[in-house]
């Protein structure tokens, strides 16, 4: 084809597009400009003094919003509040210098445990939080006994609304919502889980930072549950428990993407499960930095849900041991599926790609399927794994918790494999600290009876000088 003819063909292809442009912008113009109402909580009597409850003022502002797009703004100040309920088309605009402070009394929260949040949106569309300010759960006020290893927390189980030792309010919840946006906001010190997305469709979370106390159990960063089409980007999470945690209780979870994040946690940075009754499909984790965590990339499948088509790319990880009362054993990568208990089903895990991963860790990679729940088609491409010990915690245990075989004595290896069908290892280098005091066993640890079809291409293992 001559160059001119080629240009002509391109022009002919583009012509309808070019022609349709003015038409497209015309049709957008019909809906623009959007009518946005802004209401300030100050005009509805909020004191912002951090001492008096501003619940009624805040809720009145939200309720006064018209059914078109509405911003509820919080000028600088500290707004103590019981649960507030968002509704469709409302964006909370918590400005820089403003803090929404969650109440610490059981009467500050609704009767039902599953509605215990400082901010809750239920069955709403086009709803969100922004503004550059802070939502603070006052989690430290829920500590019964401070402990460097793990704090002992109060549990509001007296009313029977919730049983056990995890009865505390979460910070922000979106339940059954569509088009959720959480951006440019700091979420701080939750008493329990921090940002909870449940049965939502189309959620975007960006420029969000989460700070939780490092010794507080269950203060997860983001729990994404039974939800589809979730995008998380530019997050900063520094907290005691799991940082980004997809879960399935009642329906599958599809299409979650998390990129450009920084994470530190005393538990898992990325964790699938352990609630895993339904499938997880098409998830991507890219450009993530994980520091000083108890586990890096973790799949803890325990309830029969199947996991497939997951990519982890461009991720730097350092993992170290913490006290074993926290799940995790310093594994940079932990892929497990086993039945939680004798009533549970076994889910499979297939088509996982790990590419461009660098890890420095105190323990190896653990890949463990189970008899009726195989791991299949895993790929490790371009990985540098450095093994080195720098804390005083003893190693030598494999961690199947929750349930399954619990903690089991086992030698420490570069990669442990069980019940696996298909692993491709390509351009992977393992480096071992030459420190004689460090106890390491084999680079690879598996029994051929449960492991099939593993292949190595450009695999290297060797010592390095510390
Ligand atoms: C939200 O929708 C669910 C399912 O339709 C319903 O059970 C629940 O009561 C609704 N909640 C509210 C606050 O409307
Ligand atoms: C309530 O929580 C306390 C403290 O965590 C725990 O010891 C107790 O067993 C729980 N009681 C019930 C009924 O769940
Ligand atoms: C998803 O939500 C965002 C923000 O809430 C919105 O801009 C976008 O149009 C939504 N996408 C779909 C497919 O509904
Ligand atoms: C998510 O998608 C799955 C698979 O299509 C569907 O079963 C589930 O109901 C969806 N969940 C939501 C909250 O839309
Ligand atoms: C997941 O994303 C794909 C591709 O964008 C889309 O076709 C599919 O409908 C999405 N799944 C759900 C459950 O929304
Ligand atoms: C990766 O994420 C960091 C933020 O953690 C960002 O600064 C950087 O631009 C991202 N890199 C790419 C290639 O997107
Ligand atoms: C997981 O896959 C198995 C085998 O295909 C299937 O029997 C089981 O129902 C799936 N689990 C779920 C929760 O869909
Ligand atoms: C796997 O997931 C990615 C990212 O969501 C998606 O683009 C791709 O189409 C999926 N592949 C299959 C085979 O479903
Ligand atoms: C990982 O480390 C390399 C080398 O220090 C650096 O170039 C890269 O940007 C880092 N990527 C992430 C996601 O932290
Ligand atoms: C691994 O290390 C080699 C040699 O230092 C380097 O060329 C390569 O880019 C590294 N790969 C990753 C994924 O960090
Ligand atoms: C892996 O890293 C290489 C070299 O930095 C880059 O060219 C490639 O695009 C990366 N792959 C993915 C899937 O990000
Ligand atoms: C591991 O072995 C040690 C002795 O070597 C023993 O004391 C300990 O109970 C064992 N732990 C488990 C979980 O089996």
Give the mutation target among 309, 310, 312 for probing the ligand 8 site: most ligand atoms within 8 A of CB. 309
| Ligand 8: centre distance to CA 229 (Å) | 12
CA distance 198 to 419: 32
The CATH number of residue 68's host domain is 2.160.20.10
**What's the pLDDT band for 18 if we cut at 50, 70, 90?**
very low
Q: Is residue 5 part of a domain?
A: no
Report the predicted TM-score, pTM, of the whole model to 2 decimal places.
0.93
CB atoms within 10 A of CB 18: 9
**Any ligand 1 atom below 6 A from CB of 250:** no
Tell me the average pLDDT across 69-88: 98
Q: What is the pLDDT of residues 435-448, one digit of tens each?
A: 877 778 899 999 88
Tell me the average pLDDT across 399-427: 96
Ligand nearest to the CA of 165: 2
Please report, for residues 193, 208, 279, 287, 311, the alpha-carbon distance to residue 234 in angstroms, rounded to integers and kept in the order given: 20, 7, 26, 10, 18
**Any ligand 5 atom below 6 A from CB of 255:** yes
**What's the pLDDT band for 146 if we cut at 50, 70, 90?**
very high
Q: Is residue 22 part of a domain?
A: no
User: If DSSP codes are grouped into helix, strand and coil, which group holds residue 213?
Assistant: coil
Q: Is residue 202 part of a domain?
A: yes
DSSP at 171 = E
Mean confidence (pLDDT) of the chain: 93
Atom 3 of ligand 8: nearest residue by CA position: 282
Q: Give the pairing type, strands 117-122 and 84-86.
A: parallel
Burial of 381 by CB count in 10 Å (0-12 exposed, 13-18 middle, 19+ buried)?
A: middle
Q: Is residue 15 part of a domain?
A: no
**Any ligand 6 atom below 6 A from CB of 260:** yes
Asked if 336 and 300 count as a contact pair (C-beta separation under 8 A), the reply is yes
Asked if 72 and 93 count as a contact pair (C-beta separation under 8 A), the reply is yes
Closest to 398 (Cα-Cα) out of 412, 408, 413:
408
Asked if 124 and 86 count as a contact pair (C-beta separation under 8 A), the reply is yes
Say what the pLDDT of residue 233 is.
Answer: 98
Q: Is residue 54 part of a domain?
A: yes
Say what the pLDDT of residue 439 is.
Answer: 76
Q: Is residue 106 part of a domain?
A: yes
Asked if 331 and 359 count as a contact pair (C-beta separation under 8 A), the reply is no
Q: Is residue 25 part of a domain?
A: no
CA distance 404 to 400: 6
| CA angle, 341 then 343 then 344, to 5° | 70
Atom 6 of ligand 1: nearest residue by CA position: 123
Per the structure, the complete domain to which residue 54 belongs is given by 37-464
Question: Count of domains in the chain?
Answer: 1
Q: What is the pLDDT of residues 366-391, one digit of tens each?
A: 999 999 888 999 999 999 999 999 99
Q: What is the pLDDT of residues 318-376, one digit of tens each?
A: 999 999 999 999 999 999 999 999 999 999 999 999 999 999 999 999 999 999 888 99
Residue 195 has pLDDT above 50, yes or no: yes
Q: Using the Cα atoms of residue 121, residue 123, residue 124 and residue 129 in order, give the sign of their dihedral.
A: positive
Q: Is residue 382 part of a domain?
A: yes
Atom of ligand 9 nearest to the CA of 289: 14
Tell me the average pLDDT across 10-36: 47
User: If DSSP codes are grouped into helix, strand and coil, which group holds residue 344?
Assistant: coil
């Amino acid at each position: 084809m001559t160059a001119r003819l080629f240009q002509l063909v391109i022009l002919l292809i583009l012509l309808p597009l070019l022609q349709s442009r003015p038409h497209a912008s015309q049709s957008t113009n019909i809906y623009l400009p959007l009518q946005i109402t802004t209401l300030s909580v100050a005009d509805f009597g909020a004191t912002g003094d951090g001492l008096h409850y501003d619940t009624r003022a805040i809720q009145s502002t939200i309720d006064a919003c018209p059914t078109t797009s509405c911003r509820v703004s919080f000028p600088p100040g500290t707004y103590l509040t019981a649960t507030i309920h968002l509704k469709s088309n409302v964006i909370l605009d918590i400005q820089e210098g403003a803090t929404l402070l969650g109440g610490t009394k059981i009467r500050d929260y609704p009767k039902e445990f599953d509605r215990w949040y400082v901010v809750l949106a239920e069955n709403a569309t086009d709803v969100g939080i922004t503004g550059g300010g802070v939502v603070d759960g006052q989690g430290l006020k829920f500590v019964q006994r401070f402990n460097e290893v793990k704090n002992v927390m109060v549990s509001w189980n007296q009313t029977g609304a919730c049983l056990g030792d995890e009865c505390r309010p979460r910070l922000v919840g979106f339940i059954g919502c569509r088009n959720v946006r959480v951006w440019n906001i700091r979420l701080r010190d939750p008493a329990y889980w921090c940002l909870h997305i449940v049965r939502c469709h189309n959620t975007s979370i960006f420029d969000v930072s989460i700070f939780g106390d490092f010794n507080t159990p269950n203060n997860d960063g983001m729990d994404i549950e039974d939800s589809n089409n979730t995008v998380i980007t530019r997050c900063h999470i520094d907290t005691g428990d799991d940082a980004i945690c997809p879960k399935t209780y009642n329906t599958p979870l599809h299409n979650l993407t998390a990129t450009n994040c920084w994470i530190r946690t005393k538990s898992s940075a990325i964790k699938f499960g352990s609630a895993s009754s339904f499938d997880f499909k098409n998830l991507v984790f890219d450009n993530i930095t994980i520091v000083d965590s108890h586990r890096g990339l973790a799949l803890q499948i325990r309830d029969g849900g199947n996991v497939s088509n997951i990519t982890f790319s461009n991720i730097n990880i350092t993992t170290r041991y913490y006290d074993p009362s926290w799940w995790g054993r310093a594994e940079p990568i932990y892929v497990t599926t086993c039945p939680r208990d004798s009533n549970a089903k076994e889910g499979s895990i297939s088509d996982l790609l790990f590419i461009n991963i660098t890890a420095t860790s105190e323990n190896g990679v653990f890949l463990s399927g189970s008899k009726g729940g195989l791991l299949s088609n895993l790929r490790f491409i371009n990985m540098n794994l450095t093994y080195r010990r720098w804390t005083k915690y003893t190693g030598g245990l494999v961690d199947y918790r929750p349930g399954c075989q619990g903690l089991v004595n086992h030698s420490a290896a570069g990669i442990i494999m069980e019940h696996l069908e298909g692993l491709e290892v390509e351009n992977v280098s393992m480096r071992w600290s030459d420190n004689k005091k460090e106890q390491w066993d084999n680079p690879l640890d598996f029994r051929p009876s449960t492991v099939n079809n593993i292949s190595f291409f450009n695999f290297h293992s060797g010592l390095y000088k510390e």
